[in-house]
Structure 1
Amino acid sequence: MSGTECIHGFENQLCDSCFPKAAPAKPVTRATTSSRTKRVPGAPRASSNKLPVLADQRVYHVTHISNLENILRTGQLVAAAQIETPILDVSSPLTRELRGTASLSTGESVDRYVPFSLVPESNAWRELRDGAAEPRWSDAARTASSTDFVFLVTTIRALGDDAVLADGDAAASLTRFAADEDTKTRMLGNLRADELTDDAEVLIHGSFAFDEIQLVGVASDRARDRVKQLLDAASFATKVAVYPPWFIQ
């Protein structure tokens, strides 16, 4: 085990338990002066060297463990529009319709992109984990156990230059998209500053090679053993880490 790897199997200080983030310093209160400039709402914020650059931003794709075998067999995550019948489909017919009719500036529908979230505790995962009562989830999602899902973790760098950043649910009417690096960097900075990363999505067109997945996060030792069996059978050496906080309500 390396010096930067925690007991849960994470590297590069990924684990918030073993490598807790320092509390932000309290700003010093100063008297208001006439020379102080107020930020205009919506204007770009100053960048912070403490934040990872765009390329190093981790992204997360959640799937049920029963779907993982097919992903490994083909060697790639595939957009919903290309999947006829997932073994366990968590999306309701309404969600399928919305993502099949909403489109990006490219003219292609959202369901032709593989979605990733910017944070593990995304609103979509929170709903799914906590019972999937909302209309966007299927009956199968409501009966599934959160501990039977897995997190597939990579970075925007691995997704490549064609990745598209959405500042909310990609199928929502008011969601904005960023495709070039400068626009994505600005949008990501604003999302972080306003703490609005929970709904944001990163989209990759068509498919994404599984060998670019850097980590599979699971809820238990039992799930880790099952995932390792699947990875070995498909000749993937992807790291598997048990991290219960991602799966606990």
Structure 2
Amino acid sequence: MPDCIHGLEIPLCDSCFPKAVPEKPKVVRASSRTPRFAAVSTSKKSINTGAQRVYHVTHINNLEGILATGALLANAAPTVDLSTELTRELRSTARVCSDGRMVSEYIPFYLTPSATLWEQLREGAGDETRWSPAARAATTSDFVFLVSTVEALGEESVIADGDAAHSLTRFATGDSLTRMLERLHDSDDVQEAEALALAPFPIESVQLVGVSNDRMRDRVRKLTSVKVVVHPPWFVSAE
């Protein structure tokens, strides 16, 4: 499949290849089994929630360890720890839904490359209660995106409509997960939301690695066979 000017495959670049207006969904007979992530029909358009992209951001110096392990782990000791002890404590004591698991048992993903927390990192990680000195010392080009899809997060994935450690955040699993994704779609709230994958999250489920420049692309290509693309817009502040 040909690439766009950003190095992405056609289905992954909404700028070069905008989505066509979907055809009217076919009527499904009552006897048919509905897949977990069926396209959701709204007044505007149909949304394939399973194919929705999710983004995990990490420091380049953490990537080699992730690749060596073969997965993103919940209890990993990263080479560059971006979070403070307070952030880790809050996530280790916040419970997800009613399944007894804590937020810290999941791998966090953003639902958009313009997520609020990523914007904070791009602007210098000024919140000292959330971000570590290492996060403030990093430059934007030091980070990489590990891109996957909601479907690839697995059957036990969770969607949080805000900071997963916040007491007012609502969680969705199973059938309600699709409904929450529908509500978040094209809403400003999507910038605050998190997608959570129960750890470990295998590197095989990562579709591509997004980097900011050619130098970083060459560095990452030496580490992995996963497709690496240069996509500067993800690394530029929205301001």
The TM-score bracket by the shorter chain reads 0.7 to 0.9
- What is the CA–CA distance in structure 1 between the aligned matches of 2:206 and 2:148, rounded to whole Å? 5
1:244 partnered with 2:226: no
CA change 1:127–1:106 in 2 (3 A) is: same
1:130 partnered with 2:118: no
1:12 partnered with 2:10: yes
Q: Return 219-228 or 154-163, whichever deviates more.
A: 154-163
- What is the CA–CA distance in structure 1 between the aligned matches of 2:205 and 2:44, rounded to whole Å? 26
1:158 partnered with 2:152: yes
Contact 2:217 2:229 in 1 (8 A): yes
Deviation at 1:49, TM superposition (A): 6.9
- What is the CA–CA distance in structure 1 between the aligned matches of 2:45 and 2:143, rounded to whole Å? 31
Choose 1 or 2 for highest CA Rg. Answer: 1
- What is the CA–CA distance in structure 2 between the aligned matches of 1:210 and 1:89, rounded to whole Å? 20
CA deviation digits over 1:198-239, x for unaligned, max 9?
Answer: 0111111121000110010000000000000011xxxxx211
Task: Specify the code of the residue in structure 2 equivalent to 1:56.
Answer: A
Task: Specify the code of the residue in structure 2 equivalent to 1:95.
Answer: T
Superposed counterparts of 1:1-249, under 5 Å: 2-3=1-2, 5-20=3-18, 47=42, 50-79=45-74, 82-83=75-76, 85-104=77-96, 105-134=98-127, 135-180=129-174, 182-231=175-224, 237-249=225-237
Q: Percent identity?
A: 54
Contact 2:47 2:182 in 1 (8 A): no
Task: Specify the code of the residue in structure 2 equivalent to 1:162.
Answer: E
CA deviation digits over 1:106-143, x for unaligned, max 9?
Answer: 12211111011110110010001110001210011001
Name the TM-score, length of structure 1 as normaliser.
0.82
Number of residue pairs matched by the alignment: 217
CA change 1:146–1:51 in 2 (3 A) is: farther
- What is the CA–CA distance in structure 1 between the aligned matches of 2:85 and 2:231, rounded to whole Å? 31
Runs of at least 5 residues in structure 1 that lack an aligned partner in the other structure? 23-44, 232-236
Deviation at 1:15, TM superposition (A): 2.4
Deviation at 1:195, TM superposition (A): 2.6
Task: Specify the code of the residue in structure 2 equivalent to 1:19.
Answer: F
Contact 2:172 2:180 in 1 (8 A): yes
Name the TM-score, length of structure 2 as normaliser.
0.85
- What is the CA–CA distance in structure 2 between the aligned matches of 1:150 and 1:114, rounded to whole Å? 15
Runs of at least 5 residues in structure 2 that lack an aligned partner in the other structure? 21-39
Deviation at 1:159, TM superposition (A): 1.3
Deviation at 1:48, TM superposition (A): 5.0
Deviation at 1:17, TM superposition (A): 3.8
- What is the CA–CA distance in structure 1 between the aligned matches of 2:198 and 2:190, rounded to whole Å? 21
CA RMSD of aligned residues (A): 1.9
Deviation at 1:16, TM superposition (A): 3.9
Contact 2:41 2:47 in 1 (8 A): no
- What is the CA–CA distance in structure 2 between the aligned matches of 1:184 and 1:220, rounded to whole Å? 35
